[in-house]
Amino acid sequence: MLRFFAVYGNPIAHSLSPLLHNATYAHLGIGAYYGRILLTDGKSLKESFLSHHLSGANITIPFKEYAYDLCDEVCGIAKEIGACNTWVSVDDTIKGYNTDAEGFYECIKDYGVKSALIIGAGGSAKAVALILKAHNIATTLLNRSKTKLEFFTQRGFNCFLSDEFSVEGSYDLVINTTSAGLNDNLLPCSEEILRDIFNQASYAFDLIYGKVTPFLSLAKDYHLTCSDGRDMLIYQAALAFKLFLPSLHLQAQDIASLMRRVLL
């Protein structure tokens, strides 16, 4: 029986997830298809998932917190994060997971990072912040609005508003978790602040993939080691693949290696 999977988001046309999953299904001889679904209202996520008879789905910007609220059961680190990027249908129950956290850490675990600055405070920022904290990396949050920072303040993170921030220390790693630069030429915060931050940093990471964003372009001016979200996409996709098809008993690293070859 053919099984159907998809990725939800807005925008979503740029997503490479269908390429990664479909090529992997074909390589392994699995009867499955993975598509893209543009969602305009997060509240309709569950209705859409059920009406499309999906066996599983990935959820990206800006619906990860809706995915957390709307699933029937939350599993693993997603409980702490408060955001899901993966849904799996099990016995008429939708189980929610978060593969972003481990997917991100796989990308930076060899950097030797002691401190990090996260720009943004959405679902992806929650995943990144909590996995960094779990590995004892001192983490600060910077965001334009105060409301979303409350989640991080309550969990002991240093938090600042973009308009009120002044650089008083240094950060090994600077991470953009916002959508700034995805379909525009915007920076996630003021250029002046970013220049001060990059002047003392070593690494810049943008969760956006497939393009050199203004954030990464500016970081390169300061000779930082720069990464886009391609490897994070691969790792989180491999972890989601395992959740979608647990009976295959494949290792995430093996799936990730296959997906990387597909992407290259």
Q: For 32-59, what is each residue's pLDDT tens digit?
A: 999 999 999 999 999 999 999 999 999 9
Contact 263, 138 (CB under 8 A): no
DSSP string, 1-54: --EEEEEEESS-TT--HHHHHHHHHHHHT--EEEEEEE-S-GGGHHHHHHHTT-
Residue 61 has pLDDT above 90, yes or no: no
Segments forming the whole domain that contains residue 28: 3-97+231-263
Residues 25 and 108 in one domain: no
Asked if 116 and 67 sit in the same domain, the reply is no
Q: What is the CATH number of the domain that holds 259?
A: 3.40.50.10860
Summary mean pLDDT of the chain: 95
**136 and 56 share a domain?**
no
Q: Is 254 annotated as a binding residue?
A: no
Q: Give the per-residue pLDDT at 27.
A: 94
Q: Are residues 196 and 147 in the same domain?
A: yes
Question: In this structure, what token pair is assigned to residue 156?
Answer: 């002991």
Q: pTM of the predicted model, to two decimals?
A: 0.89
Answer yes or no: do 47 and 106 share one domain: no
pLDDT at 264: 80
Do residue 92 and residue 205 come from a single domain? no
Q: Alpha-carbon distance 140 to 116, whole Å? A: 6
Is residue 15 part of an annotated ligand binding site? yes
| 119 and 107 inside one domain | yes
Given 46, 64, 95, 114, the catalytic residue: 64
- How many domains does the structure of the chain reveal? 2
Selection from 185, 65, 171, 186 nearest residue 126 by Cα: 65
Whether 123 and 82 share a structural domain: no
Q: Are residues 116 and 210 in the same domain?
A: yes
CATH code of the domain in which 115 resides? 3.40.50.720
- What pLDDT, in 10s, does the model give residues 132-162? 999 999 999 999 999 999 999 999 999 999 9
117 and 220 share a domain? yes
Q: Are residues 108 and 93 in the same domain?
A: no
Query: In the prediction, which pLDDT does 263 show?
Result: 81
79 is catalytic: no
Q: Do residues 109 and 218 both lie within one domain?
A: yes
Q: How many other β-carbons are positioned within 10 Å of the β-carbon of residue 136?
A: 8
Q: What is the tens place of the pLDDT at every residue in 196-250?
A: 999 999 999 999 988 999 999 999 999 999 999 999 999 999 999 999 999 988 8
140 is in an annotated binding site: no
| Pairing status of strand 86-90 against strand 56-59 | antiparallel
Provide the residue type at 63 as one letter: F
